[in-house]
Structure 1
């Protein structure tokens, strides 16, 4: 039976409700239930070592399960995608990646004593392609066993029942307040009413209510490994226009290739690099050009995501059984 962990039992889970792993967990649970796949969430750590184990987050619980696997290597272990770099090795990365001589933090990952590189961890999960490419660049032994696994959207909750009002937009602000301000001014100059939603300052009920009333959404975020809020907007059939600098920055310099909307398609919205780009997109905007909910139902629903996870476990098991030589993604 699949066993799922998000945190060590010594942690107070009431303080973890705002952490993003619970957004990912919600979609996974609903997807597995719809597929009729049994699972245990947060079972006792003295569980029988068999079957499949997923540690979504928390280095403390990963280390305990890693120790059990060293003693009895009979179960499949996947780790991620929410395990911070500085939490998955024994020496601490904060000083390493912010030191004066480090131009690219990824260049230090091969020096870290990360559990991800140990053979007991059968696979590492990441939410998107640019993050996987980062691992392949920095630590090939990790990149070779890294799989993309996106969070699924509960399309029953995010049901697409909307009454959009023309000339009304949601402006989602996560980073770069200057860009947010300029986008807000651009929208207002076009006669568009704006509802501002700030990352970390809303609940899903409020977010759903706003999505149900707007014609489209504008997102400002420097980078996203997936962009769960984007997927939730698409499930509500709301097209999104995303500022995408295509790089992360440190001290004003481009650091590494990233994206703020790695899964965006012509069905779900468009990218923009500057305010002029955004205005041009809005000048020609017609809601009928887009079909974001249809895309989510086919590619990013809770059941699609849950099945993807099961497929990854099957690939891991096939390699351990000698049925395949290398992982095929």
Structure 2
């Protein structure tokens, strides 16, 4: 049985890291693999430590050799990983190839890692065919306001009805409601390790005009100071690691915006973004791929992974009532501040 250790899953605040856990659990339910969430670290011999560095160090101090997959939301940079962790047999997961290459480039030690993206919930994010589709949704994630203004100006000139949504300033229900009436999205975003929000748009069969980026540092915000000049200049990088011709059109420079927007809006009926998600990133497909990581890298058998036996009925600290109450109090304060 898999023990899922996550701080994010306790939160009521819907963000990418929480989606990674929630969607994998849905996928495991689909394919029939049992799991527990935030059980004691010694409750099973198979752990996924999603975003909790304290749990990772504690698990590595346990007797025996538990099979541990860590990430993708546990460390941002490889320099954050304690040397005690690097010396152990831990498999780190990255949502996209460019992220793995980023870590390889800026790590001073060889890190055992694989690429694994989470599946997308196509039932929750399904098209609503009964609604009129006459909106162009402009999605802004930490890009210069001048980029967003350029898109809005181009849409105004074409007489398009549009709305702007900004990362961090909306509820998921608002996003779903806008996508339900959208015929297209213009995505003006920063680098994405996977881009679950973008993929949910595709799942609702809404094509995307993706204004992509050239380097990792193509974003605005205080977090720029967390990275070196070399890291900010890193390439190749993208705002959409999972995207092909079924999904829409990609552009890089503002000079290409006007002609590409014209081509995109005139060819919306030719795209099939939902088919891409169903084929490449279904919940069941990616849950199966996750289970395979334990079989391939730790020689775990199907019977071991499906065993219902728990060695302990205790909880890790993330599963305690105190942690849950504290997390939800923080969520409530965050909502008030918004």
Give the TM-score normalised by structure 1. 0.79
Structure 1 residues 134-145: aligned runs within 5 Å: 134-139=102-107, 141-143=109-111, 145=112
Equivalent position of 2:56 in the other structure: 62
Count of matched residue positions in the alignment of Structure 1 and Structure 2: 287
Equivalent position of 1:118 in the other structure: 87
Equivalent position of 1:77 in the other structure: 68
Equivalent position of 1:188 in the other structure: 156
- Residue 175 of structure 1 pairs with residue 142 of structure 2: yes
- Residue 215 of structure 1 pairs with residue 221 of structure 2: no
Does structure 2 retain, via aligned residues, the 8 Å contact 1:240–1:268? yes
Equivalent position of 2:318 in the other structure: none
Q: Distance in 1 between matches of 2:293 and 2:208?
A: 30
Equivalent position of 1:99 in the other structure: none
Q: CA deviation at 1:114?
A: 4.7
Q: Distance in 2 between matches of 1:24 and 1:66?
A: 23
User: Larger relative contact order (C-alpha < 8 A, sep ≥ 6)?
Assistant: 2
| Corresponding residue to 1:261 among 240, 259, 284 | 240
SS state of the match for residue 81, structure 1?
coil
Q: CA deviation at 1:319?
A: 9.8
Q: Distance in 2 between matches of 1:301 and 1:115?
A: 36
Q: CA deviation at 1:32?
A: 0.7
Could you list the runs of 5+ residues in structure 1 that have no partner in the other structure?
87-105, 321-329
Equivalent position of 1:294 in the other structure: 275
Could you list the runs of 5+ residues in structure 2 that have no partner in the other structure?
218-223, 302-338
RMSD (Å), alpha carbons: 2.6
Does structure 2 retain, via aligned residues, the 8 Å contact 1:163–1:213? no
Name the CA shift for 1:162/1:277 in 2 (closer, same or farther; >3 Å).
Answer: farther
Equivalent position of 1:93 in the other structure: none
Q: Distance in 2 between matches of 1:115 and 1:125?
A: 18
| Corresponding residue to 1:308 among 289, 306, 316 | 289
Q: Distance in 2 between matches of 1:56 and 1:112?
A: 14
Q: Distance in 1 between matches of 2:81 and 2:174?
A: 41
Does structure 1 retain, via aligned residues, the 8 Å contact 2:208–2:247? yes
Does structure 2 retain, via aligned residues, the 8 Å contact 1:163–1:212? no
Q: CA deviation at 1:213?
A: 0.5
Name the CA shift for 1:115/1:230 in 2 (closer, same or farther; >3 Å).
Answer: farther
Q: Distance in 1 between matches of 2:202 and 2:88?
A: 38
Bigger strand fraction: 1
Name the CA shift for 1:302/1:20 in 2 (closer, same or farther; >3 Å).
Answer: same
Q: CA deviation at 1:277?
A: 1.9
Equivalent position of 1:242 in the other structure: 210
